[in-house]
Structure 1
């Protein structure tokens, strides 16, 4: 199996490599394509333009032509996936949607840790959409300190802030904690409570594996 991943943050490559290893996927299964310019263009414009949509669609088509599945790890590019996923020859998986579905299936009280303020409403809509099918409740928790530290290059501090927020969410009664951004995944090992938060790298690769099992 060959899985191609479209990233807009270079550091997310090792996050997905680690998740693949934990899931027992063979080395070399993942192929990484990093297009930071797409995220930067959206941030500058304040919205995803038709030009960025077209660039993303072309990139996804190229990746799909030489893959068994494609994963888009950047939630900002999600609308492009929704527009073309039914026309693609292979599954194109939104990592954020795979996470929302995994959280909803777990059920109960879901706390979504979101570091970037501009993505809060999109995450709320996505998680609540899937939670409605299972009766789960959703709370979005803004962990602003994590993003500030991440942007400043203090990755360890960002992960510690994420883990602390997860512990607080569990203590407040959450039955499921979901990390909204792929780069948060390593914070799972810093959480002090017994529960293990969900993250999109694991959820997305599990979704791809499920697609492959259904097709075989």
Structure 2
């Protein structure tokens, strides 16, 4: 089984490789392709534009030519997965789409934490649509200043800020806390044992891709 992953940050490769190992996938099961320029373009434009969406879909379709499934690992570019899936012969998995479906299952208050402003709009639409089936209450929040830390390479400070935001969400009564971006995945290590583990996308996305390949 070969799963191609489209990332917008080089650092997410190790996160996905760790998730694949935990799932028992062979070391060579994942193929990683990084297009940081697509996220930079969306940030400059203030969000996902039709042109950026089309270019992202084109990259996904290219990756699909030599893979059993493709995973789009960027919440800002997420809608492009649906566009690519329309003409792809293999499954195209939107990582945050899988995350949204998992997050709303228990209903109640769901706090979705984001670190990039450009992901707020698509993430809000995605989670609110998913919540229609369970009645979950969705609250999407931007962690102020976190993305500046990430861009500056201050990973420890970045993760610490995320962890504090997660603690605050739980204290405010969240049943489920969600990390909208793969770059946030290591933050639970900074939470105390009194807090539930927030949901994150990499493992869930790979599981969905594996299931889709078997079913196709």
Cα deviation for residue 191 of structure 1 reads 1.7
Distance 1:106 1:26, change over 3 A: farther
Q: Provide TM-score, normalisation by structure 2.
A: 0.91
Matched-pair contact (CA < 8 Å) for 1:109–1:137: yes
Moved over 6 A (4+): none
Mark the runs of 5 or more structure 1 residues left unpaired by the alignment: none
Tell me the equivalent position of 2:207. Answer: 206
Deviations 1:114-146 (A, max 9, x none): 112232232212111101111111112221132
Secondary structure (helix, strand or coil) at the match of 1:76 reads coil
Tell me the equivalent position of 1:100. Answer: 100
Secondary structure (helix, strand or coil) at the match of 1:144 reads coil
Mark the runs of 5 or more structure 2 residues left unpaired by the alignment: none
Tell me the equivalent position of 2:7. Answer: 7
Cα deviation for residue 49 of structure 1 reads 4.3
Distance 1:107 1:26, change over 3 A: farther
Distance 1:171 1:46, change over 3 A: closer
Matched-pair contact (CA < 8 Å) for 1:120–1:140: yes
Q: Provide TM-score, normalisation by structure 1.
A: 0.91
Matched-pair contact (CA < 8 Å) for 2:8–2:37: yes
Tell me the equivalent position of 1:30. Answer: 30
Give the distance between the partners of 1:164 and 1:53, measured in 2 at CA: 33
- Of residues 179-188 and 108-117 in structure 1, the stretch that sits farther from structure 2 once superposed is 108-117
Cα deviation for residue 19 of structure 1 reads 1.3
- 1:77-88 equivalent positions in 2, closer than 5 A: 77-88=77-88
Deviations 1:158-199 (A, max 9, x none): 111111211221122111110011100011222213411111
